[in-house]
Amino acid sequence: MSVTLQGFRRTAEKRSERTTIEETRTDRIFLIGVRIMLWIALIVVAVPLVYIVANSFSSPSAVSAGRVLLWPIEPSLQAYKTALGDPQIMRGYLNSFIYAVGGTLISVTLTIAIAYPLSRRTFFGRNVIMSVLIFTMLFSGGLIPTYLVVQDLGLLNTRWAMVIPSAIGVWQVIIARTFFRSTIPDELYEAATIDGASDLRFLWSVVLPLSKPVIAVIALMYAIFQWNSYFDALIYLKDPGLYPLQIVLRNVLILNQAGGPASQNLAQQLEQQQLANVLKYALIVISSLPVLIIYPFVARHFTKGVMVGAVKG
């Protein structure tokens, strides 16, 4: 009896489900339109990316003839071999790596050092400090006055110029502060104080282990920002040995300053020109690869982090 009743209920549920899901004709047409639109968006974004990758794996002559579209023609790894064998490019890669790792360490440490006290209600003057920070988002002294500060501190043309002047982002402070405030309950602090923990001890042994997600998000934000930044290097660095990858890329890709000795005969020159063309595509892939590999894994957290920061407070 009960079995049949259950079975009856199930079919009844199914039927009602079907009636609620039923779409009208206009809605179905509308949905088809939506799908077409999304396909167009997908294609528009993906085609240039695929085009670059396809070209980077093609032979120099096919690339120079403009024959490559979405699939490699006469597949070849020559461009990658040349790029990875170029000392200028490899040094840029190494420099960018140093700036990204070092800069992220400094930035995350300083961001937490200011965001945590700002999240504590017992921290007197937190509103004043927050206003001091937010004002810098609205108004700045400008390029030259900042340059003068960096110059006076003797940071010009040193590796420090890449990591210190842009060390703390107000946005990241807000994200971290909001996270601390919403996930670390006051009771936890009180319990820790009873056990004799100081503020620093509490931060180190309780808050930080609980805040791994937000630390990961701001660390990735800083790391990607450092990896992609080129403006600070453009204005503060003169020594090519210190150039990050982005400056090397600009020289090769946009200013067309390809390295290598100029050759005498015409055939060699043509070959070099063709190689320079395909090298550009390979460089784009090589330089964006680290970021694009980690991105799908972090995208979700990245979004969450942005959302947390967007909460007004």
Backbone φ and ψ of 189, nearest 5°: -65, -45
Tell me how far apart the alpha carbons of residues 259 and 251 are, in angstroms, rounded to a whole number.
10
* Residue 32 near other proteins by CB under 8 A: no
Cβ at position 163, least distance to other proteins in Å: 12
37 or 84, CB closer to other proteins?
A: 37
Which residues, 208 to 237, sit near other proteins by CB under 8 A? 224, 227-231, 235
Which residues, 103 to 122, sit near other proteins by CB under 8 A? 110-111, 113-114, 116-118, 120, 122
Which residues, 139 to 168, sit near other proteins by CB under 8 A? 139-149, 153, 164-165, 167-168
Encoded amino acid at 137, one letter: M
Tell me how far apart the alpha carbons of residues 311 and 313 are, in angstroms, rounded to a whole number.
6
* Residue 82 near other proteins by CB under 8 A: no
Contacting other proteins (CB under 8 A), which of 159, 181, 250, 301?
Answer: 250
Contact 249, 96 (CB under 8 A): no
8 or 123, CB closer to other proteins?
A: 123
Encoded amino acid at 252, one letter: V
Closest CA to 95 of 157, 159, 155: 159
Range in contact with other proteins (rule: CB under 8 A) among 6-14, 85-93, 138-146, 176-184: 138-146
Contact 82, 275 (CB under 8 A): yes
Tell me how far apart the alpha carbons of residues 293 and 310 are, in angstroms, rounded to a whole number.
26
* Residue 71 near other proteins by CB under 8 A: no
Cβ at position 266, least distance to other proteins in Å: 19
Cβ at position 178, least distance to other proteins in Å: 15
For the chain, the residue count is 313
Positive or negative, the CA dihedral 267, 268, 271, 276 is: negative
**What is the Cα 16 distance to its own chain's centre?**
46
* Residue 194 near other proteins by CB under 8 A: no
183 or 288, CB closer to other proteins?
A: 288
Cβ at position 6, least distance to other proteins in Å: 26
* Residue 84 near other proteins by CB under 8 A: no
